[in-house]
Amino acid sequence: MIVLVAGAHGRLGSRVVSLLLRRGHLVRALVRTPAQAAVLQDAGAETVVADLSQDIEWTAEGCTAAVFAAAARHRSELGSVNGGGAVKLAEAAYRYEFRHFVLSSVVRADRPERRNGAACEFLAAKQHAERRLATLELPWTVLRFGQLTEHPGDGRISTVMRAGVPLTTRRDGAALAIVDALERPHLARQVVNVLDGERRVADALDAIEPLPLPPPGPAAARVAVPLGVAQADNPPDDPRMIFPDASPLDADVEWVGDGPVLPEPVGNDDPAPGIS
Ligand SMILES: NC(=O)c1ccc[n+]([C@@H]2O[C@H](COP(=O)([O-])OP(=O)(O)OC[C@H]3O[C@@H](n4cnc5c(N)ncnc54)[C@H](OP(=O)(O)O)[C@@H]3O)[C@@H](O)[C@H]2O)c1
């Protein structure tokens, strides 16, 4: 895959970049400054310098997957970066028909109204991004993390919120979950909690059931109809048509060589066995 990573110089994003490169993927790191770009180029990534609050669609051209791991520096940017920036990246992924898009979100993003102040605004920005994603015909996965920490990872997570257990996620585990999710098509259009836990990341993600197939269409549309009956309700020929129906093709029309059409097919003297 060629993976566009937004927030590639951040604490989570830089871990995602390292893991992707180690697994042999190509990475296009979306960063804010040339100095950040130089760091990521040294690590082996291609880079683009762009601001998520501006136009970023161009950064996606030529990639096949994307990860959103950027985060606003200031509260006033939560809407334009965590919300709007993620939406723009998802729309670019849709525009270029990416194979997968992974959004770094947060547990309780579906309930911003339960919190106040900056926490409420943070959750609301993530909710906005999640809601827009749900409307896009795109294989996306939302990973909802707890509070991200710098504790060294042990490659283990839980996808289940348990009462009384702190809602935290080590960035190492979060990064591994992002990269593993990118490689798992069955997680398309799923929202998954990723918290500190005891299960190997790959096992925890593999244990998530794929979504059920869409319900079958209306029964009437699937009833077998005898040949001919199905065409009975074709509209009548338009009297203004030049020819009321398809005339037999004049063979000469199809012939692009010089002279008349040859009487026999050319170069067809080796019929399949058993056919004379
Ligand atoms: N922190 C948490 O507890 C928590 C919890 C759940 C989910 N999340 C989500 O997890 C992801 C990673 O979080 P993190 O704490 O690891 O992030 P981080 O270390 O704060 O890194 C964020 C990155 O985003 C970049 N960025 C900010 N504004 C930008 C803009 N306008 N255009 C382009 N890049 C921009 C920053 O660049 P600069 O260095 O130039 O500012 C930085 O590299 C984020 O999506 C975050 O919302 C975080």
Map residue 66 onto helix, strand or coil: strand
**Full-model pTM:** 0.81
Q: Is residue 67 part of a domain?
A: yes
Distance 98 CA to ligand 1 centre (A): 22
Asked if residue 14 has its Cβ within 6 Å of ligand 1, the reply is: no
Asked if residue 156 has its Cβ within 6 Å of ligand 1, the reply is: no
Q: Is residue 85 part of a domain?
A: yes
Q: Is residue 170 part of a domain?
A: yes
Domain count, the chain: 1
Distance 82 CA to ligand 1 centre (A): 8
Q: Is residue 109 part of a domain?
A: yes
Rounded CA separation 50/57 (Å): 10
Q: Is residue 246 part of a domain?
A: no
> Which residue, judged by its Cα, is nearest atom 11 of ligand 1?
69
Query: Could you give phi then psi for residue 199, rounded to 5 degrees?
Result: -95, 140
| Residue to mutate, 148, 151, 161, ligand 1, most ligand atoms under 8 Å from C-beta | 148
Task: Count Cβ atoms below 10 Å from residue 13 Cβ, excluding itself.
Answer: 26
Task: Say which CATH number the domain at 45 has.
Answer: 3.40.50.720
Rounded CA separation 140/103 (Å): 8
Q: Is residue 242 part of a domain?
A: no
One pLDDT digit (tens) per residue for the chain, 276 residues: 999 999 999 999 999 999 999 999 999 999 999 999 999 999 999 999 999 999 999 999 999 999 999 999 999 999 999 999 999 999 999 999 999 999 999 999 999 999 999 999 999 999 999 999 999 999 999 999 999 999 999 999 999 999 999 999 999 999 999 999 999 999 999 999 999 999 999 999 999 998 887 777 665 444 454 555 555 555 565 555 544 444 444 444 444 555 555 555 444 444 444 444
Distance 187 CA to ligand 1 centre (A): 23
Q: Is residue 200 part of a domain?
A: yes
Asked if residue 82 has its Cβ within 6 Å of ligand 1, the reply is: yes
Element (H, E) at 125: helix 117-134
Asked if residue 167 has its Cβ within 6 Å of ligand 1, the reply is: no
- Contact between 16 and 175 under an 8 Å Cβ cutoff? The reply is yes
> Helices marked H in 26-83 — which ranges?
34-43
Asked if residue 10 has its Cβ within 6 Å of ligand 1, the reply is: yes
Burial letters for 175-204: b for 16+ Cβ neighbours within 10 Å, e otherwise?
bbbbbbbbbbeebbbbbbbbbbbebebeeb
Q: Is residue 82 part of a domain?
A: yes
Burial of 116 (0-12, 13-18, 19+ CB in 10 A): exposed
Asked if residue 83 has its Cβ within 6 Å of ligand 1, the reply is: no
CA distances from 22 to 15, 25, 43, 179, 209 (A): 11, 7, 10, 11, 28
> Which residue, judged by its Cα, is nearest atom 1 of ligand 1?
148
Q: Which one-letter amino acid corresponds to residue 254?
A: E
Tell me which residue range forms the domain holding 22. 2-206
